[in-house]
């Protein structure tokens, strides 16, 4: 909770700071453009004077300039305020033609260099929106199609930023259109990149914490399982001793029912012993070797059929498989536990059916030419509600009263992590039945060397 609060505050601080930087950059761009517009407007009057070819009248006595009233008069007698007398004024040029061209070209180059230093587009236009200077270059003599392109560009720039008016001697003589700096565009992306980075960090931390919690939970279950196995082993050893004593009693050996009961008790104790060993090895990698899927499945089915109390009243367990064997690399104890767990669930699903239930276990190739063997456990029981079908492999989820919700979760782990296979709910319809499917990769990847153990 503290981490989430800290991350949220950090995100908002970064977003606020970055947003402020973007606004400052935009304001800086606008100030730069306003300064250029003011400078350009400021030189318009001097340039207009420089470009005036009419020239001036100068006093021949003191050189004081006077206004030329008649453009066609080269000399004229006028009153000179400095000489305080009427003197001869003659016509003189403000600048020579070459000097005027040089001044105008220099001014244009100066503003061209100034505009070129900007990292965003600019266009100077007159009051009729005719482009005059584009990116610091004069557009005099450009073809009409280029001018049309410049006008379209001006429309786009006007959508980004409001054009800055160019005001000279109180009159608006044009506008400066300008765009957005690439740096501004990149800065706008920074808040989203920061947000994505912080969310990624939060996701990594969350996954790490969840993994740690899951690891602690697994370790607690491992410890519980090992302690349970240790506690079971002592009475199991005692039971095995008592069974051996009963077998050695010659009086009991002649009683068929007792002999049959001892044989089943011996098988049950062996099974309990294997279960205890299995739980005692929790948290350790199981030993894998070539095993026959058919043999493992048939042993589990035969074990259930030999003990009617495990199936319940009216429930029939059938095995459907071919004579050929499918060999995989796995652990027969763990794989048998998965099959046993699915059969128990199927039997529980069939409990209470008036016409009895049926559980079928089949083993065959997944399809023609497949490199996997499929084990299916199907029943005609109550089925799984549709709302729960996506949760059944989740640890802790159960619909059975008193259940722990670990069977299918452990089954998936055994099949996927230790046997490189997959287990899934193939189909389930409430009131009709359920089918689970297990796919296991064959040893060697084909059927040519999968008919003998070790083959």
What pLDDT shows up at residue 377? 95
> How much is the pLDDT for 436?
95
Here the tokens at position 88 are 């001869």
**Residue 343: predicted pLDDT:** 92
Question: Is residue 150, in this structure, part of any structural domain at all?
Answer: yes
**Counted domains in the chain:** 2
Q: In angstroms, rounded to a whole number, what is the distance separating the alpha carbons of residues 381 and 235? A: 37
Domain final residue pick, 118, 149, 180: 180
What's the gap between Cα 349 and its chain centre? Answer: 40
CB 406 within 8 A of CB 439: no
Residues 430-452: tens digit of each pLDDT: 988 999 999 999 986 554 444 44
The share of the chain scoring above pLDDT 70, in percent, equals 72
Same domain for 176 and 290, yes or no, is no
47 with 174, same domain? yes
From the number of C-beta atoms within 10 Å of its C-beta (0-12, 13-18, 19+), residue 339 rates as buried
Range with the poorest average pLDDT among 53-62, 298-307, 425-434: 53-62
- Domain membership of residue 350 (yes or no) is yes
Q: What is the DSSP letter of 388?
A: G
Asked if residue 413 is part of any domain, the answer here is: yes
Q: Look at residue 425 in the predicted model and tell me its pLDDT.
A: 92
**19 shares a domain with 167:** yes
153 & 292 share domain: no
DSSP H or E stretch at residue 329: strand 327-330
Higher pLDDT, 200 or 137: 200
Instruction: Give the mean model confidence (pLDDT) for residues 272-284.
Output: 65
What pLDDT score was predicted for residue 190? 72
Whole-number Å distance between alpha carbons of 19 and 187: 8
For the four alpha carbons of 12, 14, 15 and 16, in that order, the dihedral sign comes to positive
Assess contact for 83 and 142: CB atoms under 8 A. Answer: no
Q: Which residues, 6 or more positions from 99, have their beta carbon under 8 angstroms from its beta carbon?
A: none
Together in a domain, 175 and 298: no
Report the mean per-residue pLDDT for the chain: 77
Sheet holding 75-80, edge to edge: 65-66, 56-59, 85-92, 75-80
Residues in the chain: 455
Residue 64 resides in a domain: no
Among 180, 206, 226, where does a domain finish? 180
How would residue 47 be classed by pLDDT, with cut points 50, 70 and 90?
low
In Å, how far from its chain's centre is CA 359? 43
Residue 169 shares a structural domain with residue 290: no
What is the tens place of the pLDDT at every residue in 79-120?
Answer: 888 888 888 888 776 655 666 666 666 666 767 677 766 777
Q: What is the pLDDT of residues 189-200, one digit of tens each?
A: 777 777 777 778
* pLDDT computed for residue 164 by the predictor: 81
Distance CA 30, CA 161 (A): 9
Q: What is the pLDDT of residue 379?
A: 93
Q: Identify whether 126 is part of a domain.
A: yes
**CATH code of the domain in which 360 resides:** 3.30.565.10
φ, ψ of residue 395 to 5 degrees: the values are: -60, 130
Give the C-alpha separation, 262 to 266, whole Å: 6
Whether this prediction's pTM lies above 0.75 is answered by: no
Q: The sheet that has 315-321: what strands, in order across it?
A: 315-321, 357-365, 372-379, 433-441, 422-429
Strand bridging mode 357-365 / 327-330: unpaired
Q: What is the mean pLDDT of residues 201-222?
A: 72
Average of per-residue pLDDT across 315-330: 86
Given pLDDT bands bounded at 50, 70 and 90, which one contains residue 206? confident
In a domain, 306, yes or no: yes
The arithmetic mean of pLDDT across residues 315-344, rounded, is 87
The domain boundary, picked from 180, 206, 229, lies at: 180
Position 279 in a domain: no
Distant-in-sequence contacts of 36-44, Cβ < 8 A, 24+ apart: 36/111, 36/114, 36/115, 36/122, 36/176, 37/164, 37/165, 37/166, 37/176, 39/111, 39/114, 40/111, 40/124, 40/166, 40/176, 41/166, 41/167, 41/168, 41/173, 42/168, 43/107, 44/166, 44/168, 44/173
Phi, then psi, of 173 in degrees rounded to 5: -105, -5
13 in a structural domain: yes
Q: Domain of 35?
A: 2-53+93-180
Q: Is the pLDDT of residue 344 over 80?
A: yes
């Amino acid at each position: 909770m503290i981490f989430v609060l800290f991350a949220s505050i950090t995100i908002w601080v970064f977003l606020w700071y970055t947003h402020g930087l973007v606004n400052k950059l935009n304001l800086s761009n606008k100030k730069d453009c306003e300064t250029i517009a003011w400078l350009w407007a400021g030189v318009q009057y001097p340039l207009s004077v420089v470009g005036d070819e009419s020239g001036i009248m100068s006093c021949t006595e003191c050189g004081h300039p006077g206004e030329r009233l008649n453009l066609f008069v080269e000399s004229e007698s006028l009153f000179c305020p400095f000489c305080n007398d009427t003197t001869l004024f003659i016509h003189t040029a403000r600048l020579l033609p070459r000097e005027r061209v040089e001044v105008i070209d220099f001014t244009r180059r100066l503003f061209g260099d100034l505009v070129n230093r900007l990292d965003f587009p600019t266009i100077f236009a007159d009051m009729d929106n005719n482009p005059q200077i584009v990116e610091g270059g004069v557009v005099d003599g450009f073809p009409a199609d280029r001018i049309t392109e410049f006008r379209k560009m001006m429309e786009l720039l006007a959508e980004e930023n409001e054009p800055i008016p160019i005001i000279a001697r109180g009159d608006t003589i044009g506008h400066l259109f300008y765009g957005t700096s690439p740096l501004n565009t990149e800065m706008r992306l920074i808040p989203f990149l920061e947000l994505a980075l912080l969310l990624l960090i939060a996701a990594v931390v969350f996954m790490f914490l969840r993994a740690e919690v899951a690891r602690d939970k697994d370790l607690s279950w491992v410890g519980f399982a090992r302690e349970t196995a240790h506690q079971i082993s002592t009475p199991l050893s005692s039971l095995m001793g008592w069974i051996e004593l009963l077998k050695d009693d010659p009086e009991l050996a002649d009683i068929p029912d007792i002999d049959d009961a001892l044989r089943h008790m011996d098988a049950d104790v062996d099974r309990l012993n294997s279960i205890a060993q299995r739980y005692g090895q929790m948290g350790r990698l199981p030993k894998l070797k070539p095993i026959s899927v058919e043999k493992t499945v048939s042993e589990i089915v035969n074990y259930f059929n030999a003990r009617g109390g495990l199936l319940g009243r009216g429930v029939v367990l059938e095995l459907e498989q071919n004579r050929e064997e499918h060999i995989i690399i796995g652990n027969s104890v763990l794989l048998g536990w998965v099959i046993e767990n699915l059969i128990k669930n199927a039997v529980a699903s069939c409990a209470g059916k008036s016409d009895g239930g049926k559980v079928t276990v089949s083993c065959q190739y997944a399809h023609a030419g497949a490199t996997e063997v499929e084990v299916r456990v199907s029943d005609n029981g109550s089925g799984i509600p549709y709302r729960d079908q996506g949760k059944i492999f989740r640890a802790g989820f159960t619909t059975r009263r008193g259940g722990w919700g670990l069977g299918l979760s452990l089954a998936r782990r055994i099949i996927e992590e230790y046997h490189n296979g997959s287990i899934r709910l193939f189909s389930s319809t409430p009131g009709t039945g359920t089918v689970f499917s297990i796919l296991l990769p064959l040893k060697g990847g084909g059927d040519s060397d999968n008919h003998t153990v070790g083959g």
